[in-house]
Amino acid sequence: MLDYAGGWKRLHHTARRFFAPLAISTVPEDDEVCFIGVNDTSTTVAVALTVETMRPEGTIRLLATVDGSALTDAAFNLPEVDQLDVAKDEILLLSWQSEAGVGSGEFPPRPYKAYDPQPSVLRLETEKTGDAHMLALSADRLSLFARVEASVPGRISENAVCAPWPSDSADRHAEGGDR
C-alpha cells in the first residue's frame, strides 16, 4: 500500500527493518531481557550490539556493549540484560553493526502508555550533495516513530525513527535515485 503520491507509508520503513539481512530482537524472560538475532546472509558475521536506556525527557544512559557472532543456520543469542538495571521510566535503545549492515530498534519493558511522554522539539538539518539530500533528524526528548515528509519527488531511505539518537539520519534522493 502506497500513499496518494506513490510514496512509502510508515509501515514500509518498519517492514524493511524486520526483513533486513541481520535483525536483532528483544525477548523478555523472567527478570532479564534477552537479545536474539537472525542472520539471513550466506556467511557468519561479527556483530557489535550497543544497549542504551532513554527516559522520556531525553536522558540517554549506556547500559551494555556486546560482541557476538551471527551464525547462518540458526537464531543466535547475545548476552542478556537484567531488567532490574532498567528504571521504570526507561526504554531500551538497541543499535548494532556488522558486515551485513547496521540496525537499530527500541524496546519498552512496559506498555508505551505507562510512560509519561514529554513534549519534544524535532530539528531537521539538510545538506544537498548533487541530486541527493541528506536529512539529519534530532529531538531534545524521546520522540517515538518520528517521521519526515517532503513535497518533492523521491523517497526517504529511513523513516519512522525513534529520536533523539544523534545517528538518526535519512537520505533523500531526487527522482531517479533511490536508496
Of 20 and 157, the structure prediction assigns the larger pLDDT to 20
- Residues 6-20: what's their mean pLDDT? 71
User: In CATH, what number is assigned to the domain containing residue 59?
Assistant: 2.60.40.10
Range of the domain at 121: 115-173
CA distance 23 to 28: 17
105 and 125 fall within a common domain: no
Instruction: Assess if residue 5 is contained within a domain.
Output: no
**Predicted confidence (pLDDT) per residue in 89-119, tens digit:** 999 989 899 988 888 888 888 898 888 888 8
Percent of the chain with pLDDT over 90: 20
CB atoms within 10 A of CB 164: 21
If asked whether residues 107 and 143 sit together in one domain, one would say no
pLDDT at residue 63 in the model: 92
Is residue 2, in this structure, part of any structural domain at all? Answer: no
pLDDT value of residue 166: 38
- Residue for cell digits 524521546? 142
Same structural domain, 24 and 110: yes
pLDDT at 160: 61
Per-residue model confidence (pLDDT) at position 97: 92
- 96 and 120 in a single domain? The answer is no
64 and 149 share one domain: no
Which of 24 and 17 is assigned the larger pLDDT? 24
**Claim to verify: residue 99 and residue 119 sit in the same structural domain:** no
**Is residue 1 a part of any domain in this protein?**
no
Q: What is the pLDDT of residues 36-95, one digit of tens each?
A: 999 999 999 999 999 999 888 888 899 999 898 888 888 888 888 888 899 999 999 898
Query: Are 144 and 82 within one domain?
Result: no
Residue 3 lies in a domain: no
Assess whether 69 and 126 both reside in one domain.
no
Do 124 and 36 reside in the same domain of the chain?
A: no
User: What's the pTM?
Assistant: 0.74
The residue-averaged pLDDT of 16-44 equals 88
Instruction: Return the pLDDT at 76.
Output: 87
- Mean pLDDT (the chain, rounded): 79
Number of domains in the chain: 2
